[in-house]
Every structure is written in structure tokens, then in C-alpha cells.
A and B are shown apart, each in its own frame.
Chain A
Amino acid sequence: MRLSMDLELQDIPGQLMQSLEPFKRYKGNIISVVHHRDRKTPRGTVPVQIVFEIDPSNIENIKNHLEENGIVVVRAGEDRFIEEISVLLIGHVLHTDLGDTIDRIDSTGFAEVEDLSLRMPGIEEPSSAYLRIRATGKEEIAKSLSILRHVGAEKDLLVIEPIEAEKI
């Protein structure tokens, strides 16, 4: 089963090697390791994302082993949503039923609105919403965007997509 884990490592030599050790011990097959040295957390730790295949019964053992060695496990589990995208909506975001707008994405089953920020400058003034959408793949991201475009046209909202989305 394919799983993923988000870790936070101390920025000291040997930490990355140490974090990989339990995967070897519990027969995990590592698919990818992304080491975000350039995106340190406010705590000064380095985020690392590991995607691997393993018998799910071993995941707790890996987690425990890591934590015993002082490595922070932020998240561990099935990796359904592997792609994400940011979108901005401008218009009467709230009064055109924001709940419904989000539902249209969430109800697909393949994508979810994971993060939402609102700016409402005043009554009658257009508001803005930032949405981060996660989905199970690139194609599903593209489908979610198409749903949002449709909702935007229907509710008279300006949908601002990121330039990276075009690469899909």
C-alpha cells in the first residue's frame, strides 16, 4: 500500500539518514524523498516528505522508531491527495453561498478544499476568497478548476487561476 509521511528534521548532519533507517528495518520501499532545506519551519526544522510502499501494519512501528529518535512525525497515512492548487475568487463570494461553492469541489470525492481565507472589505463591496484545493492527481486538479470556472460563471465570480495550473 502506498503511504506518505511528513517529517520535521533537526538541521544537523546525519538526520536524513537516521530518518530513513526504520524504512529499511520494516521493509518499506521508498518511492520518493523530498527534502525542503529551503523551506525551514519557524521552529528551524527542515520539512521532509517521504512516499513509500509498505505493509500498513508496520506504519506504527516506523512512527514509533522515528519519534524515539527525536524526529517529529507531522503526518502519516494514506496519500490520497497528492496534487494541490491555489485559486482566488473575487465577487460576492459569501452571498452566493460559499458553502455550496466548496461543496461542489468536496462532493467530487477526488478533490477537497483544504484551506480557505476570506477578505470582506465592507457590505456591498466584492469580497475575495483564497482556496487551496488538493486532489488525487493532475487530471482531478484540472477537473476541479473546470468546476470552479463553471461556478464562477454561474455566480458571477472572477476566478483567478495560478500560472502553474497551465502545466497540467
Chain B
Amino acid sequence: MREVRISLVGFGIVGHGVLEVVRRKRELLRGIGLDLKVVSVTDIKGTLFDADGIDPSILHGARNMEGIANLDIIGKEAIQEIDSDLVVEVTPTNIVHGQPGLGHIEEALSSGKHVVTSNKGPLVVAYNHLQEMAQDNGVMLKYEATVGGTMPLISLIEKNLVGNEILRIRGIFNGTCNYILTRMMEERYTYSYALTEAQELGIAEADPAYDVDGIDTAGKVVILANSIFGMDAKYEDVSVTGIRDITPEALNLAWERGYHIKLIGEVPALKVMPMLVPRRSPLAVGGTLNVASIETDLSGTITVTGLGAGSIETASAIVSDIVSIYTSRQIDG
């Protein structure tokens, strides 16, 4: 049995999901020879540490570490001090400077710890730098959850499509935009009405700019460009148009002519823009779904679809990454 001591950094929606999935799947994971043990949980209030693995009941109902933390250290200091094999970095994302996640990941990698993250910011800002650090320190950096949530995209390309040249990836990488456009088309809602509905359902943030202006999709385009296409792209290199100017009349007109309007991200062209998607296209998925079409030289076009966000769904991608690190032949023990 391989014991994996995990430090969880970030205790928001995804952090809760990770604890839940690790708890629920404990026996299953032991069955494949992995004993995942969360030894610390850190947020801006402090750190809860237990070398034998944290008892999940202590965290039940807690929203942050206030009153629960037993160590007064946070951030990079906590990552450095705590003895663990792997850091799960799930703090809030910032795609301009990547902090605080960027500092956390650098600290973990330089301390010889594997990193699994759902945090786009650090990867958008410094993907190549972080991968080099990982390599130099003999550890791995995995980030499946950053693009398309639970939808397997990066691992699909790296494992199942290995040997293929990837010619292009196009897809819907933001569930909020997809939900708003779907509702506008189905119910003839105006943009602002559909947005309000999405906010009430918790699908859109109070400040929706990050989603509806295409910023989030552009971040994912940068991650795919750098990781799959070996580019050195920055956020500023992406040409971005969001969905604010789409009207229900335009959606209706498109529908009558056999099209949906979807916010499409494209690599390696580095473009995010609303496009006409034929109704019969596999990219024409509705609701909050994400979808990606991977165009390859040998396998033709492969399309995957799935939920792009959500606590348990994102955590599932994180746990898959953890398992893949310890089942990969490149790592000895």
C-alpha cells in the first residue's frame, strides 16, 4: 500500500469537494494500492494539521479554518513546514498575476512535492516555468481540472491519443456562457434576464465579467496552447470577444438557419469568440455542459463533453490526477 500524504491548500467549494471525494472513494483507492491521507488543510485563517490524516467530521459544516486551525501558519510557509508528498492547490484564481496560487505551486515544487491544481491563474501566467520547476525537482504538476472541469481532455490527449499530432482543439469551455446562451435561445430571454437567472441559480458570479467577457475561456485556451501545443502563449495573445452583445433575435435567426451561437475557444489559433455552430454538430451541447473537439492526424476528430464545473466534479478530476501520478511509470515509488 502506497501512502500519499496530501496538503490541501484552499478551502472553498473545490477544497470541500476534494475532502468529500477522498473520503467517499477511500476504499476504492485502497483497492488499487493507494492510501490517500489528507494531513493538512490550509486557508488564509490558518492550518489544520494531523499527521495521521484529518478526521473529516472535524471539518463538517465548517466554511473556513477559523476556530479549527491548530497551526498558525498559512500559504508558502505551511507548504514548506508540513511534511507531505503532494499539494492540492485550490485557492481562488487570478489570471493576471496568478497569486496566491503561483507562489504556493512554486514552493511545493521546489520542496519536491507533486502538485495537483484546479487553479488556472498560475498556469496561465507561468505554465512553462512551472513545468520546468517540476522537472528539475523530479516531481509532477497535474492540472486536468483547470480546463473543462471533469471532462477528460488533457489526460485523454496525453495518454489515449499519444502518438497523434494534435492539429486543433475547439470547444465550449465555460458552462456559464453556455447556460446563458442556451436559455436565451430556448426561452427568448434577453441577455440580462438570462444572466440574472444564472446568478440566482449560482451558475454565474455576482460579477459575471470573468465568464461572459470570455476571460475564463481565454485562460483555458492559453493553458491548452502551452501544454498541448508547446507554445509560449500569454493571456494578451488571445483575441477575445465575449457574449454580452448576443441578442435573442440573433439566436433565433441562427436557429432558423440551422445554427446555434456558442462561445468557442480555439487553439492553436488563440481565439475566443461567439461562432455559428451547426445544430447537428457534436459541439452543439446545451445547458452548462462543456465540450471539446480534438482534431488529430491519425484519429480524426474526437469530441468529449461533460460538466465543466462543480465541487464534486472538479474534485473528481483532481483525484484522477493524483491517482495518475502514482500509477505513472515515470515515477518510482
Partner-B contacts on A (CB < 8 A)? 86-88, 90-91, 117, 119-121, 125-130, 132, 158, 160-164, 166
Contacts and interface: CB of A to CB of B under 8 A. Distances in A.
A67 B193 CA distance: 55
Contacts of A162: 259, 275-278
Contacts, number: 72
B283 A88 contact: no
B328 interface: no
B259 A126 contact: no
Interface residues of B, number: 26
Contact of A121 (B249, B257, B269, B276): B249
Interface in B227-280: 241, 245-247, 249-250, 252-254, 256-257, 259, 261, 264, 266, 269, 273-278
A100 B257 CA distance: 24
Contact of B245 (A86, A158, A161): A158
24 contacts: A86-B257, A88-B261, A88-B276, A90-B245, A90-B247, A117-B253, A119-B249, A119-B250, A121-B247, A126-B245, A126-B247, A128-B249, A158-B245, A160-B261, A160-B273, A160-B275, A161-B273, A162-B276, A163-B170, A163-B264, A163-B276, A163-B277, A163-B281, A166-B266
B149 to A, nearest CB: 22
Contact of A86 (B170, B249, B259, B274): B259
A54 B264 CA distance: 44
A119 B252 CA distance: 9
Contacts of B249: 119-121, 127-128
A128 B264 CA distance: 20
A125 B249 CA distance: 11
B259 to A, nearest CB: 7
Contacts of B257: 86, 117, 130, 132
Contacts of B274: 158, 160
B24 to A, nearest CB: 39
A88 B253 contact: yes
Interface string B56-82: 000000000000000000000000000
B164 to A, nearest CB: 19
List of 5 A-B pairs having minimum Cβ-Cβ separation, nearest first: A119-B249, A128-B250, A162-B276, A90-B250, A158-B245
A142 B274 CA distance: 18
Interface string B143-168: 00000000000000000000000001
Contacts of A91: 245
Contacts of B278: 162-164
Contacts of A158: 241, 245-246, 274
B40 to A, nearest CB: 46
Contacts of A117: 253, 256-257
B250 to A, nearest CB: 4
Nearest to A156: B245
Contacts of B170: 163, 166
Contacts of B254: 88, 130, 160
Contacts of A120: 249
Which one of A121, A126, A161, A166 has the highest number of Cβ atoms from chain B below 10 Å of its Cβ?
A166
Given A126-B247, A128-B253, A162-B277, 15 more contacts: A86-B257, A86-B259, A90-B245, A91-B245, A117-B256, A128-B247, A128-B249, A160-B274, A160-B275, A162-B276, A163-B170, A163-B275, A163-B278, A164-B278, A166-B266
Contacts of A119: 247, 249-250, 252-253
Which one of B241, B246, B273, B276 has the highest number of Cβ atoms from chain A below 10 Å of its Cβ?
B276
A116 to B, nearest CB: 11
B277 to A, nearest CB: 6
A121 B253 CA distance: 12
Contacts of A130: 253-254, 256-257
